[in-house]
């Protein structure tokens, strides 16, 4: 699909834009959340559903995150049906000539804005809004839609960009333009270290719950503390990068949190984005605030069977080798970095086994299996962080497809 016209941009901006009205609400404080804040942690809620957020909102909460899956949940409830109808009608009234797929992409943009703006209007906090997965391998379109989302609500929108070669390079440009970025779908120290050094997004992520799950699914151990170990190792690597290079300011988000115990264990991390269920578990845990302590500098023994054939693949997630640091040093020193294309970064990164060249058949197989891959189906040459990122992206693509189909039903 071609980049949309300036007229279409203006029409969609008019449809998506809302004036943010009213004062920031006054909320009750929560002692356990106050403890996280005192330990240096910013606490967010991971939901696109306004009503669920309202049930658990406290004074210490400072942002919300949405994604393609969460947006689809909202859309399938029917709450955005009028937005869909109005957007389609307006585009047609303006005589804008769009293909069906272009129409779906643009209506989806307005929906995403409206879901996020409902949250902004209610809480007056920043909301992360994720790009459509279909544009994840295009620098040009990532830049276009990233700028467009930011223009709708520069005070409160943070743009979520998925981890792809093109994503790294687009984020580098967007950050230089002042667009706040949540660089998502990270699963290892090295992925996020590269992001911080190369592109310096405001935030990077570790989807820790999925890492625990993949260990359990392979019968490679209990899976306990695997994602937590990767997350804390990433925090240490980012802290070191920030201290050694004042140009690096990226902060870490612990994502894919599954329960209240993980919330408590990750106290002291830069940011926790917590689903409502896990938030309620933490709030109702009965813990005293002084029982919540930081484990960032602790030595952690994850629940992985060291004799399992996949043990080495898991351990690579929390390692940051001198070889990889040297690769990043050389990459960020390249004079052509700001004109580099995704294909070139992809090719360069093969030297450190990053960005496996998945075929279309591979991606279909990944999508069919779901967000937790079967490692037996993939050779050791496929890095686990690459595989987990692709599994997450394909899972979001599947949910985005369901959202797109609801839009499509209004075009008939």
The region, left, alpha or beta by phi > 0 then psi within -120 to 50, assigned to residue 327 is alpha
Q: Which two tokens stand for residue 156?
A: 């409160």
* Candidate list 52, 114, 126, 160, residue with the active-site label: 160
- At residue 288, the 3 state secondary structure works out as coil
Contacts (Cβ under 8 Å, ≥6 apart) of 27: 57, 58, 59, 61
Cα–Cα distance for residue pair 153/19, rounded to 1 Å:
9
Cα–Cα distance for residue pair 349/343, rounded to 1 Å:
10
What is the secondary structure of 70-129 as a DSSP string? HHHHHHHTTTTHHHHHHHHHHHHHTT----HHHHHHHHHHHHHHHHHHHHHHHH-SEEEE
- Do residues 72 and 398 touch, judged by C-beta distance below 8 A? no
Torsion sign, CA atoms 363, 365, 367, 369: negative
Q: What are phi and psi of 205, to 5 degrees?
A: -135, 150
Cα–Cα distance for residue pair 218/48, rounded to 1 Å:
31
Neighbours of 65 (CB within 10 A): 29
CA distances from 238 to 123, 136, 192, 213, 267 (A): 30, 24, 8, 25, 16
Q: Which two tokens stand for residue 237?
A: 């690597």
**Closest CA relative to residue 272, chosen from 28, 62, 129:** 62
**160 a catalytic residue:** yes
- The torsion of the CA quartet 31, 34, 35, 40, rounded to 10 degrees, works out to 180
Which residue in this structure is represented by tokens 């997350």?
Answer: 231
b or e along 155-187 (b: 16 or more beta carbons within 10 Å of the residue's beta carbon)?
ebbbbbbbbbbbbbbbbbbbbeeebbbbbbbbb
**Closest CA relative to residue 266, chosen from 240, 234, 243:** 234
- The secondary structure of residue 383, as a DSSP letter, is -
Annotated active-site positions, please? 160
């Amino acid at each position: 699909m071609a980049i949309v016209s300036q007229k279409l941009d203006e029409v969609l901006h008019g449809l998506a834009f809302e004036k943010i009205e009213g004062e920031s609400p006054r909320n009750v404080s929560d002692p356990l959340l106050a403890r996280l804040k005192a330990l240096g942690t910013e606490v967010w809620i991971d939901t696109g559903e306004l009503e669920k957020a309202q049930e658990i909102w406290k004074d210490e909460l400072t942002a919300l995150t949405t994604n393609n899956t969460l947006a689809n949940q909202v859309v399938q409830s029917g709450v955005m049906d009028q937005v869909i109808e109005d957007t389609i009608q307006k585009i047609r009234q303006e005589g804008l000539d769009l293909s069906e797929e272009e129409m779906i992409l643009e209506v989806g943009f307005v929906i995403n804005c409206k879901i996020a703006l409902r949250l902004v209007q209610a809480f007056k906090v920043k909301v992360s809004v994720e790009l459509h997965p279909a544009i994840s391998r295009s620098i040009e379109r990532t830049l276009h839609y990233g700028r467009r989302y930011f223009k709708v609500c520069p005070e409160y929108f943070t743009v979520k960009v998925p981890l792809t070669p093109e994503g790294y390079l687009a984020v580098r440009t967007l950050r230089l333009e002042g667009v706040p970025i949540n660089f998502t779908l990270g699963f290892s120290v090295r992925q996020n270290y590269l992001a911080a050094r190369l592109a310096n997004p405001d935030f990077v992520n570790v989807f820790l719950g999925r890492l625990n799950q993949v260990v359990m699914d392979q019968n490679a151990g209990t899976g306990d503390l695997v994602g937590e170990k990767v997350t804390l190792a990433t925090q240490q690597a980012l802290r070191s990068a920030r201290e050694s290079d004042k140009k690096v300011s990226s902060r870490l988000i612990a994502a894919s949190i599954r329960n209240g115990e993980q919330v408590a264990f990750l106290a002291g991390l830069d940011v926790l984005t917590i689903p409502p269920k896990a938030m309620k578990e933490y709030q109702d845990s009965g813990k005293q605030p002084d029982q919540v302590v930081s484990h960032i500098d602790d030595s952690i023994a994850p629940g992985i069977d060291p004799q399992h054939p996949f043990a080495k693949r898991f351990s690579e997630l929390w390692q940051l080798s001198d070889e990889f640091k040297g690769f990043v040093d050389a990459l960020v020193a390249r004079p052509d970095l700001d004109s580099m294309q995704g294909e070139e970064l992809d090719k360069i990164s093969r030297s450190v086994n990053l960005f496996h060249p998945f075929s279309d058949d591979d991606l279909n197989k990944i999508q069919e299996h779901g967000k937790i891959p079967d490692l037996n189906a993939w050779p050791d040459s496929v890095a686990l962080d690459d595989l987990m990122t692709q599994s997450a992206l394909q899972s979001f693509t599947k949910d985005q497809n369901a959202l797109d189909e609801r839009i499509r039903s209004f075009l008939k």
